[in-house]
Amino acid sequence: MDRNYWDKKSKTYNTEIFDVNKNDKTRIIESCINEVASPKKTVADFGCAIGKWLPILSPKFKSVLAVDYSLPLLQEAEKKYKALTNVQYKNIDLMRNMKEAYAFDAVLCVNAILTDEYAKRAIFFNNLAKSIKKNGHLILVIPSLESALYTEFMIDDCNRKRDRTSSEKIKSTSAKTDNSRLHLGIVALDKVPHKHYLKEELIITLGSYGFKTEKVEKVEYTWATEIANAPKSLPAPYPWDWVVVAKKVK
């Protein structure tokens, strides 16, 4: 999943890419944003893609910097949100050491740190850390490894219990092709490796970049987002990503 992968999604983004904003059933991410927002503060959206969070961020903050390494996606965002006059756009690769020096009050980063390469994730986290001022906040949304494994359990459980004569086998929405790096949290979704995090791993990782985790919550989705032919009766808990609010303390 490199820049080229994302560049190619610019015209099909809405149909192909999972919309976290739209699927956040309880609006937990927006309430995390509200906790740190102020019309006196600056914010950046790291990995903004076509800008789905910009209409939420723009009225709550003094200024917004929308950052993405895919120029076609960034241009789509800029075209769509011309009316948001406090938003600026910047084409930066956050998996390279940033030349720019920023000191944002807050950064939102939603499902952008997905690479399976440890070194690239380390640079991304480092860029996040150095762009946020002391006592500023990071709101990070990231795939949950617990949820990925729990979903596999649910699929298996349904298939064991289903009435074999009448009901169709339950299937995941994405083919899990290569599980050889599952111990590292790497889950291949439709042949694309995605890093997933354990809650404790996330807290420790953020700590090593100078962040104190203030809260970790579930961004809950419906079963239909994970299971193609999900039976209506499937119970809670639902599949989730993690949302973390972390304070820059060092």
- CB count in 10 Å sphere of residue 76: 20
Q: Are 12 and 122 in contact (CB under 8 A)?
A: no
Which range binds ligand SAM by CB under 6 A, 62-70, 76-84, 163-171, 230-238?
Answer: 62-70
In whole angstroms, the minimum distance from the beta carbon of 233 to ligand SAM comes to 30
In whole angstroms, the minimum distance from the beta carbon of 6 to ligand SAM comes to 3
* Residue type present at position 102: Y
Q: Note whether 69 binds ligand SAM by CB under 6 A.
A: yes
For residue 100, with 0-12 CB atoms within 10 Å meaning exposed, 13-18 middle and 19 or more buried, which class applies? exposed
Site for ligand SAM in 5-24 (CB under 6 A): 6, 17, 20-21
Q: What count of Cα atoms within 13 Å lies in the side-chain half-sphere of residue 51?
A: 24
In whole angstroms, the minimum distance from the beta carbon of 89 to ligand SAM comes to 12
* Residue type present at position 67: V
Q: Note whether 219 binds ligand SAM by CB under 6 A.
A: no
Q: What count of Cα atoms within 13 Å lies in the side-chain half-sphere of residue 40?
A: 1
| Alpha carbon distances (Å) from 151 to 12, 35, 146, 170, 230 | 27, 30, 9, 11, 11
Query: x/- site string to ligand SAM, residues 87 to 126, per CB under 6 A?
Result: ------xxx--------------xxx--------------
Closer of 16 and 200 to ligand SAM (Cβ): 16
Which range binds ligand SAM by CB under 6 A, 57-65, 66-74, 205-213, 214-222?
Answer: 66-74
3-state secondary structure at position 91: strand
In whole angstroms, the minimum distance from the beta carbon of 219 to ligand SAM comes to 11
